[in-house]
Structure 1
């Protein structure tokens, strides 16, 4: 019997301009990416240059961030907190009503189902912490060339923050990227993706009803159960083309919900 190591998680306090935002359960890898991604997802920064300094102190369980003077961090952080569901519990300052004010996606770019399934399989093979422990979530962004960046964490929403943080730090254009995740897509996960501007989000598991409603409203293509040769499309933007059924000549692999 192969014995896997246990996944790790640590309490990390995020401190912004001297204000303690919350204590998050995080995996130690890629904490700078997480901080950039979380602050962007929550509307505290719009560009990487909005951060004057960022210091990760894993031995003290803290990440200390100083934002530019034109950022009203106190006003944002005084909003009501919404605690996220699932592993690696987090906190968001956006309600569903807030998310509906985000810019709607206008991309007309389409993707073949076979490509999404292929990328999902490659993603699984390039998730070292999951392969080592069997207990990690992952998120991945794929560019037009098929190149992928993978980040992992004990929490599904933390992993998404990490890949968004990488994209923000690298100045990547969301119009040219696909977001894939191992975790359930809930409304706060959808809000993170919507804030960055992804036009398509794929998951190996389900999406909640609230996430589907928001995706439809914001014109985001939301795909669940990307496994083997099947998928469920919760939305109807037409960005996912079922070329798998055509090749196999079998029953539809792409189920589009009304």
Structure 2
């Protein structure tokens, strides 16, 4: 796969795990650069954008546009955060054909999901997402998240800063979003992709496949805190969502309804608490 643009910290090995550079993630392109009125030839690094099609029980479910990294985690995370899977034990097999850009997921108990999902499919506003399988108002049907951690604004800002400096792919190409899964002490998993939804789904998929509890974690994202991101967090029980960007009105309403502490504009020593401030120790 070349370079795996992500970081994982585990209790057994607290050092960042980052692979070697590969040509399958970044491409070099010759361009003309106009700067201070002078036109010169230059080179830029471009992030690849490839389709990844997920098949569930032999039937085509969705095609995502992504970098192609971590296809197993992306597929499983998508299924989980869209409410199709509840836990990893439901999966009987998972196969990936990276050249073809296909992931096959087989469930132990087959489900008649296709027509139900297609009737509910809506076009999302996010990057790298071909389609989404929920209606925004579905958030009111989700159980409230658990109590979660309590942490200071300074810790939140520090965690976001730590996640920001992990963004190696963004530093190279400036075209990616990132997501991090954190405890109050450290960022434990970090992912980058062209789509903010994809980055979150990779986090969810990794946690699900590795039996990582999410009820005591913080979701960090560089993208806006929209209803889609809040719903993903709610479905997996993440109690705190923090974004470097701002939130949407529906994102705040959904977070309020399911008990999520939603934070925005976390940067430069500042943040905005949109709802459920009881987890923030001022």
Closer, same or farther: CA 231–4 of 1 in aligned 2, 3 Å: farther
**C-alpha separation in 2, matches of 1:115 and 1:51:** 36
Deviations 1:176-225 (A, max 9, x none): 21100000111111110100111110000011100000001111100000
1:22 equivalent in structure 2: 62
Residue 104 of structure 1 corresponds to which residue in structure 2?
144
| 2:22 equivalent in structure 1 | none
Of 119, 122, 130 in structure 2, the residue corresponding to residue 82 of structure 1 is 122
Q: How does 1:194-233 map to 2 (within 5 A)?
A: 194-233=234-273
Q: Does 1:33 align with 2:50?
A: no
Shifted more, 207-216 versus 167-176: the winner is 167-176
Q: 1:93 aligns with which of 112, 121, 133?
A: 133
Aligned match for 2:204, one of 144, 149, 164: 164
- Whether contact under 8 Å (2:183, 2:218) holds in the other structure is yes
1:69 is paired with a residue of what secondary structure? coil
Question: CA 1:18–1:199 in structure 2 vs 1: closer, same or farther (change >3 Å)?
Answer: same
Corresponding residue for residue 90 of structure 2: 50
Equivalent residue of 1:238, what SS?
helix
Q: TM-score, normalised to structure 2's length?
A: 0.81
Instruction: Indicate if the aligned counterparts of 2:146 and 2:215 stay in contact, CA closer than 8 A.
Output: no
Q: Secondary structure at the match of 2:278?
A: coil
Q: Which has the higher helix share?
A: 1
1:246 alignment partner in structure 2: none
Mean CA deviation greater in 46-55 or 150-159: 46-55
- CA root-mean-square deviation: 1.8
Q: Identify which range, 197-206 or 168-177, moves more after superposition.
A: 168-177
2:237 and 2:111 map into 1 onto residues whose CA distance is: 21
SS at match of 1:59: coil
For 2:178, which of 125, 138, 142 is the aligned residue? Answer: 138
Runs of 4+ residues over 6 Å off in structure 1:
none
Q: Give the superposition deviation at 1:144.
A: 4.5
Contact 1:219 1:237 in 2 (8 A): no
Structure 1 portions without partners, runs of 5+: 243-258
Equivalent-residue separation in structure 2 for 1:108 and 1:60 (angstroms): 40
Partner SS, residue 117 of structure 1: helix
**Alpha-carbon contact 1:12-1:26 (below 8 Å) kept:** yes
Task: Describe the SS at the equivalent of 2:215.
Answer: helix
1:175 Cα offset (Å): 2.2
1:254 — aligned with what? none
CA deviation string 1:77-120 (max 9, x = no partner): 34320121132123222212222111102306311111111111
Find the residue that maps to 1:21 and give its secondary structure. strand
